[in-house]
Amino acid sequence: MVSCCYKVCLLIDDNFIDNYVTRKILQTGNFADEIIICQSGAEAIECIRDKNVRPDVIFLDIRMPMMDGFEFLQEYDKLDEMLKAHPKIFMLSSSLDPIDYRLSSQNKYITQFIHKPLTYKVLESICS
């Protein structure tokens, strides 16, 4: 099965069920030593800015209230360079909107757009 060397994985999603499923896949795939969940983009920015969370990898949802995934990326861009030099960010969304896909692929921080649900096959491709 999947086994990665990531230390901290940050999951940013407001949906409890999606978080539960994604966390289980990450845990059983031994993807990261620690999985932290933030239920909003604003909460995640605060955690990163305050240096409470130093993620190696981030899974970011698009559709969230108050601050969506793209708004998170705008705020993320304003962070100190040291805080954003390290993580890989994967847009993890159920969106089928071609504009979301295009905006994700054009964003300098997004490594890859992944359709929900996250699978072991996708995790294996990330780890290789």
117 prior amide bond cis, ω within 30 = yes
- The candidate with the shortest Cα–Cα distance to 80, out of 114, 35, 48, 108, is 48
Confidence check: pLDDT of 53 > 90: no
Give a yes or no: residue 107 inside a domain.
yes
CATH number at residue 114: 3.40.50.2300
pLDDT at residue 1, as a whole number: 66
Number of domains present in the structure of the chain: 1
pLDDT tens track for 79-117: 998 888 789 999 999 999 999 999 999 999 999 999 999
- pTM equals 0.94
Give a yes or no: residue 1 inside a domain.
no
pLDDT at residue 85, as a whole number: 78
Give a yes or no: residue 31 inside a domain.
yes
Give a yes or no: residue 26 inside a domain.
yes
Alpha-carbon separation of residue 38 from 76, 100, 101, 106 (angstroms): 14, 21, 22, 24
Give a yes or no: residue 92 inside a domain.
yes
Compute the mean pLDDT over every residue in the chain, rounded to the nearest whole number: 93
pLDDT at residue 4, as a whole number: 75
Distance of CA 26 to the CA centre of its chain: 12
